[in-house]
Structure 1
């Protein structure tokens, strides 16, 4: 998929300050579906935790912002989909149980599971001053890969983990699972590249149309290269896994008992990855990034429409796989 990019129009739109968004999305579905990497696959190879618009399905095309009837995100104009692999606890008897996710303390109370989504212009504390061109309809990308090794974590410093004391813990960030139980759970962090080639809405590996200049997570990136000249929002997900509920079942030998749904049986988390499909309605995201609001100050029409937690939690995508992933399982979904 290709997009006609007008550099002259971009220059005309350049402003002096843009927004930084941070918001919650409740779980819209947990299914073995992946319309980016495995379009049409029913089911996909492994289980995903999904938030966003309820149009999520095996195959998605066109302007996602004009599809679906509701979204599980705070901003009611955001019909994008955001998803990651699901985390499981592996018992010493060989059975598995899905680890539930929980909302960040900075988000409204009562969100059902959910993830924290960021669209930042410069870093966690500043809007910055350069123009940010938001994603066009049809845009999609991934970060990380279920088949990558330790070198992938080294090359992409936006893939990290945090051992939580509580839901507000943010540091230190590490490049593998914590080696001991974490009092408040484990947070996975996925920071996407922010430089676009200005042409392709996707690429065969779902990553080559983007380029990463971030030194690490929430930090100001270097200038975009000529091959990928268009600066876009720095998209990031934070997913908080409630691993603390398994603290009394931690293996006596101290080995890591957690495994992602793609089957990393060695216990290493190098294969952590995330997918994104743009679906903001009309020019809503561009209007937001052109403003000077930060985080929850962007809600309630200033400039984005927002909705109640009850409305977020009520939004669900159709369950087309119809597969059990709750309770104690004898195998990971799709790994029998």
Structure 2
């Protein structure tokens, strides 16, 4: 059944604005359906403008809501606890393609409107990108079926842009305890993780924060360290996780976040499950980025500002059969897979993709 009213997501957006005033990353519980991803929305609104919801691309009427077709309703968040498996993930390793002051999620159709972004995956990504333009396109991801677009603010040292070298690690994991309940992303789903206007405290408290900025033996930095060991083996690193629970209704919403949520803690346990407001468990994306810069870091910054302004965007354009096969084999199957869907600790399980990283 198609969801015909936009009232519920509007209420969620309102909750997001309130949460944003209170602070990002407040711990949620199963009794807290706000679901913890809503909070960044208020700050991210400053990165938007009224023009960013104009009619363009996939949003024909320009209201910022892109309905899923079909919409997923009647789902109850799984509270099951399957047999424990330490890993349930695969990698989508993708190299940098280009940089541009574009953002097809926040500023669709408005070339040059954004701060500079570093793009990975789909080679054609620009301000005018849509599901149709990305799907089936050329990609720098190891699996040709992954034509998704991934991007983040560009990093500079002084006026010199510093680009990650080689395939960057993008994990697809489970964010919920019941890893068997995870299903593939719907075609065309897009969202923003974090926001460029967050404070250092908000970045540290964000549910997607893993270990902050790292270099050498320095970890959990909310800002880019002032210096890093000046050695060839030292790079600047950052990991950040995305929300993995979907409301099942929209591929995008006006704030680009409230259709997604982070898992919540099941009362009386240490288990994670999706909240009732966002009951559909999807893969949890984790960026693990590395920039070839070290030594004196005092002039290192992001295009969006200080290190704690880091955020990133995801626009799904996977070929559906391949994504489902990877999710079912690696995440639902409880394996630690490489980009071919192969777990070297369980060779008996085989690989999803062939030597050319394609589905046989």
TM-score after normalising by structure 1: 0.70
Aligned to 2:257: 207
Question: For 1:38-67, what per-residue CA distance to the aligned partner results, in whole angstroms no more than 9, with x for missing partners?
Answer: 111211321111111223122222346634
- CA pair 22-40 structure 1, distance change in 2 beyond 3 A: same
> May I ask how many residue pairs the two structures share in their alignment?
266
Q: Secondary structure at the match of 1:24?
A: coil
Work out the CA distance in 1 between the residues paired with 2:76 and 2:212: 39
Query: Judging changes above 3 Å, is the alpha-carbon distance between structure 1 residues 173 and 286 closer, same or farther for their aligned structure 2 residues?
Result: farther
CA distance, structure 2, for counterparts of residue 121 and residue 86 of structure 1: 28
Whether 2:313 is the aligned partner of 1:275: answer: yes
Q: CA deviation at 1:163?
A: 2.4
- Structure 1 unaligned runs (5+)? 91-95, 103-110, 309-336
**8 Å CA contact 1:55, 1:67 repeated in 2:** no
Cα distance in 2 for residues equivalent to 1:205 and 1:228: 16
Partner of 1:161: 212
Q: Within 1, Cα distance between the matches of 2:179 and 2:255?
A: 32
Among 333, 337, 344, the alignment partner of 1:295 is 337
1:65·1:280 contact (CA, 8 Å) conserved in 2?
no
Matched, 1:181 2:228: yes
C-alpha distance in 2 between matches for 1:116 and 1:281? 20
Matched residue SS, 1:285: helix
Structure 1 partner of 2:301: 259
Indicate which of 197, 220, 240 corresponds to 1:147. Answer: 197
Q: TM-score, normalised by structure 2?
A: 0.66
- Give 1:203 deviation, angstroms: 1.1
Q: 1:243 to 1:200 in 2, by over 3 A?
A: same
> Structure 1 stretch 77-86 or stretch 45-54: which is displaced more?
45-54
Partners of 1:213 and 1:221 within 8 A in 2: no
Structure 1, 199-208 or 281-290: larger mean CA deviation: 281-290
| Structure 2 gap segments, 5+ residues each | 1-65, 344-349
Q: Identify the residue that residue 2 of structure 1 maps to in structure 2.
A: 67
SS of residue paired to 2:67: coil
Structure 1 residues 185 and 276, CA gap change in structure 2 (3 angstroms)? same
| Aligned residue number for residue 317 of structure 1 | none
Match of 2:162 in 1: 99
Deviations 1:257-290 (A, max 9, x none): 211112x2xxx32211100000110222122111
CA distance in 2: counterparts of 1:260 and 1:77, whole angstroms:
30
Relative contact order: is structure 1 or structure 2 higher (C-alpha 8 Å, sep ≥ 6)?
Answer: 1
Report if aligned partners of 1:64, 1:279 keep a CA contact under 8 Å in 2. no
